[in-house]
Structure 1
C-alpha cells in the first residue's frame, strides 16, 4: 500500500510545487508515495462556476458552499479504497506537531482540503468527519502552503524517501526534545572550536553530551515541550 495524498484546491497548479524539487519529489517519481490533485471548481455550481456565497447572518467575506465541497470530498474518497481521513486547514484546528505527522505517515494517506475565503460551511465539516488542522497561530490566504508543509513533513518519514533513516530518529521532536547542536569541519573557525568531546571518538560520552544539550535547549527555548516530557516520564 502506497501512502497517498488527495489534494482539493482552487489552485491545483500549486502542487507538487517546491516538493517536486526535493527528496519528496524524487520519492514521488519513484512511487514511494502518490499525489492526486483536484480542482474544487470542477464541482462548482451554475454557469458562473460558483464555489462560494455570502454567509448567512451577514459578516465579511465569503464561505465555500457545502454543495460544492461535499461532492469534491466524496469524489476524492471514492478515488481511494483505503483513505478515509479528511483534513481541512483551519486556524481553529489542532496545531500540527511531530506526533500528528508520524501518526498520519503510519496510515494510508489523507484527503487534504485547502480552503479559501472566510472559511467553509460547517455542515461539510460535520457530515464528512473532517479534522481541522492548523499550521500555527497565524493566518494564511489559503490552505495550500499548510498542505505543502504537512506533505513535506509526512513524506520524508515514508520508506524509500529519506536515505538516512537514523537521522530521522535523532532530529528535533523525535523523543520530545529539541535537537542538539551540530558541528563539522574545520575544527576551528573564526576562533571558535568544536566541543572537545565530539573529537574524542568516545561514542558513549558523545551520546551523553548530546542528550544534555538537547535537554538544556528544550528547557531554555521550549518550556512547554520540557514540561510535557516530564509529565510523561
Structure 2
C-alpha cells in the first residue's frame, strides 16, 4: 500500500459512494491507495452521540466538539501505528493547490477531518497538529466535498494510478501555468478546423505550439500564476 487516506465525517455514506467510483476505485482495486470513512458520531461518549455544542462567547451556529474528533484521530493512529499528516477542511485554511497535492501524494498516510457548522474547536487543530486546508474562497455546508476534492487530486498523482503517467505533465497547474487547448476528431466541426500544427506530425513544433498557447491562456485567464512561477521560460515569454 502506497497511500492510506482516512476521512472523519458526519456523512460517511458520501465518502463511501465517492470511493467506489472512477479513478479512486481503480487505485484501491490495484492496491495503490486505501480510503476509509469514519462516522464522527461513533466517537461520541454520550447516548445521544453528540458531536457539537454552542460556541463560547456567543454567536450563531454550532461548533464541533474536540473530544470526538480527538478520539477518532487517536483511534486511527492506534490501528495504523503511524504518524499521519492530519488535514482539516476549513475556509480559514491554506488554499489547496497542485503543489500541495503533489506534496501530499508522497505521504504514506493522511487523515482528513471534515469541518461542519461554524467550524471545529481550535484545540483539535493544536492537539492533532492539524493543517487547515481550504479549496477556495467560498463557503460550503460541510467539508465532505473538499475532502473528496483533496482525495482525488492526490490519488491521481500516486505513481502507477494513472494508466498514462505522462498525462500528468499536460495538466493545468503542473508547472504553474494552465494547460494548452486540446482537440480530437473530427478534424473539422461546424467549419472550425483543428490547428494545422497538431496534424503535422512534427513533435517539436507541436510542443512549441502547446507551450505558447498555454502561456497565452494563462496570461489571459490567470496572470497571477505567471507572477508566482520560477520557470525561466515563463518569465522570458
TM-score interval w.r.t. the shorter chain?
Answer: over 0.9
Residue 136 of structure 2 is aligned to residue 136 of structure 1: yes
Match of 1:16 in 2: 16
Match of 2:191 in 1: 191
Match of 1:48 in 2: 48
Residue 157 of structure 2 is aligned to residue 157 of structure 1: yes
Residue 104 of structure 2 is aligned to residue 104 of structure 1: yes
Match of 1:70 in 2: 70
Residues 77 and 111 in structure 1, CA contact (< 8 A), matched pair in contact too: no
Residues 83 and 111 in structure 1, CA contact (< 8 A), matched pair in contact too: no
Q: CA deviation at 1:29?
A: 1.9
The RMSD of aligned alpha carbons is 1.5
Q: CA deviation at 1:73?
A: 1.3
- Following TM superposition, the consecutive aligned residue runs of length 4 or more in structure 1 with deviations greater than 3 angstroms are 230-233
2-structure distance, mates of 1:79, 1:147: 21
Match of 1:5 in 2: 5
Residues 19 and 152 in structure 1, CA contact (< 8 A), matched pair in contact too: no
2-structure distance, mates of 1:139, 1:84: 27
2-structure distance, mates of 1:46, 1:194: 64
Residues 64 and 121 in structure 2, CA contact (< 8 A), matched pair in contact too: yes
Residue-pair matches, total: 233
Quick one: structure 1 residues 83 and 105, their matched pair in 2 at CA, closer, same or farther if it must change by over 3 Å? farther
Residues 19 and 25 in structure 1, CA contact (< 8 A), matched pair in contact too: yes
Quick one: structure 1 residues 18 and 38, their matched pair in 2 at CA, closer, same or farther if it must change by over 3 Å? closer
Segments of 5+ residues of structure 2 without an aligned counterpart are: none
Q: CA deviation at 1:220?
A: 0.7
Q: TM-score, normalised by structure 2?
A: 0.94
Match of 2:167 in 1: 167
2-structure distance, mates of 1:81, 1:99: 28
Match of 2:118 in 1: 118
Q: TM-score, normalised by structure 1?
A: 0.95
Segments of 5+ residues of structure 1 without an aligned counterpart are: none
2-structure distance, mates of 1:80, 1:18: 23
